[in-house]
Amino acid sequence: MPSDSPKPSAMMVAVLRAAHQLLDAPLILDDPLALRIIGPEREAEVRGHPERFRDGLTTALRTILVIRSRLAEDTWQAAQQRGVMQHVILGAGLDTSAYRGSLPPQARVFEVDLPATQQWKRERLAAAGIAVPDALRYAAVDFSTTSLADGLAQAGFDRAAPACFTWLGVTLYLSPEDVAHTLAFIAACAPGSSVVFDFVIAPRLLEPAERAAMEAISASLAKGGEPWKSNFDPAELEAQLLALGYGRVEHFGRGELTQRYLSGRSDGLRLAGSTGIIRATVGATMGAAQAAP
């Protein structure tokens, strides 16, 4: 796969979000743009062949994808209520959260991604007739030539003001050192800043069936040119975050996420335990953290 091509996983994630809109009720992530942004050909495939998305592995993957997005969007909504007006989406892919709903006039959303991926997305937005909101800023960052700090600064990001960071489906493709570097950058942002991110749990901590499922997904993505490079022990990751200066680290495990987003459902959606989600807050007091969703 050419290095300047959009990553296959970006479309895979978008298609699964689109399938959720048709297959699952009630919706966990209500995204009326999900089917439009994947284009008419793939939309027709999803509508015409829903059985392709109903096997156990695909259903489990779809479930965690929409739940992690819902948690991140809930976090951004709560951050706005506390006066945080900057939202940074790292590795935005075909995420549509910035293109639906309304924002306070002073709010700014920064989408960070590879230049080729952003160009591809903007072409898809135009083809689908999806308007780009005034609040949105694109920060095209090729880490081989531009730092995250420089890319965001060029897009107008204010380091002196708190920000809500969303970082989903990215850490597994980065080395542990690169993950730590990005987390350190966020930790150095203004107090009240936060990040919601997910990660693959170290295989030694997984049940055999979960480990086999993750190995199957990893092998498939590696064939498409996207090998996984990192996994983490949640306890060790928490210690790393606290050492970086985060004041509050919240883990969202299978039990809590099931209670939040899957309680009372009859469609069989369930979470695997192979992925972890953390929300870490810079300089958080206990009271402020407890007020978060």
Largest CA distance in the chain: 50
Against a cut of 0.95, is the pTM above it? no
Task: Tell me if 125 sits within 8 A of 57, measured CB to CB.
Answer: no
HSE-up of residue 176 (Cα within 13 Å, Cβ side): 11
Length of the chain: 293
Whole-angstrom distance, CA of residue 211 vs CA of residue 34:
30
Go through the domains of the chain in sequence order and give each one's CATH number: 8-291 (3.40.50.150)
C-alpha dist (Å) from residue 257 to 4, 34, 41, 213, 283: 36, 22, 33, 20, 25
Q: Phi and psi of 131, rounded to 5°?
A: -75, 145
The per-residue pLDDT string of the chain (293 residues; one tens digit each, 9 = 90 and over) reads 444 457 788 999 999 999 999 999 999 999 999 999 999 999 999 999 998 999 988 998 999 999 999 999 999 999 999 999 999 999 999 999 999 988 999 999 999 999 999 999 999 999 999 999 999 999 999 876 889 999 999 999 999 999 999 999 999 999 999 999 999 999 999 999 999 999 999 999 998 988 888 888 888 888 888 899 999 999 999 999 999 999 999 999 999 999 999 998 888 788 888 899 999 999 965 443 444 56
